[in-house]
Amino acid sequence: MITTRSQPEPFRTHYSSASHSALADAPKEKGGGAAGLGPHELLEAALATCMNMAVRMEAQRLRISLEAVATSVQLDRTQVDVADFNYQVEVSGNITSEHRRLLEYAAENCPVRKTLSRTLAFRVQPVR
């Protein structure tokens, strides 16, 4: 579970899990201080890091010699009813075309992507 707490600065938000914490913030053009990632950037980061880890885990499992994995994700919200995640995974090392296919499959099937591909439901508790 993630918990957030507002900070004295406009829109700056401290977020934490049981073991880690960081700051999020709105960009300056929206009245924030840009002291951390914004909410949509956090969503992009969740997907990018999950894909990156999934590729590395699959490479380790298959004993594929990777030097590095770089993953980028950009959320396009220009269409009213569509959240379009555009992503790219780059791998370096002694990688065959078959390895690339297997690693691409791992990225496409990471847990966060699977979650975002489902029908989403939101259960609200009354504001206290």
Predicted confidence at residue 105, as pLDDT, reads: 98
In this structure, the answer to whether residues 49 and 101 fall within a common structural domain is yes
Same domain? 11 vs 71:
no
Number of folded domains that form the chain: 2
pLDDT of residue 10: 96
Residues 5 and 28 in one domain: yes
CA 11 to CA 23: how far, in whole Å?
10
50-84 pLDDT per residue, tens: 999 999 999 999 999 999 999 999 999 999 999 99
Question: Which amino acid, residue 61?
Answer: R
Rounded CA separation 24/79 (Å): 25
Q: Do the Cβ atoms of 69 and 91 come closer than 8 Å?
A: yes
The verdict on 32 and 75 lying in the same domain is: no
Query: Which range of residues forms the domain containing residue 26?
Result: 1-36
Per-residue pLDDT, 81: 92
- pLDDT for res 54: 98
Tokens of 97: 């075309």
pLDDT tens by residue, 91-120: 999 999 999 999 999 999 999 999 999 999
* Residue 49 domain flag: yes
Predicted local confidence at residue 59, as pLDDT: 98
Domain CATH for 70? 3.30.300.20
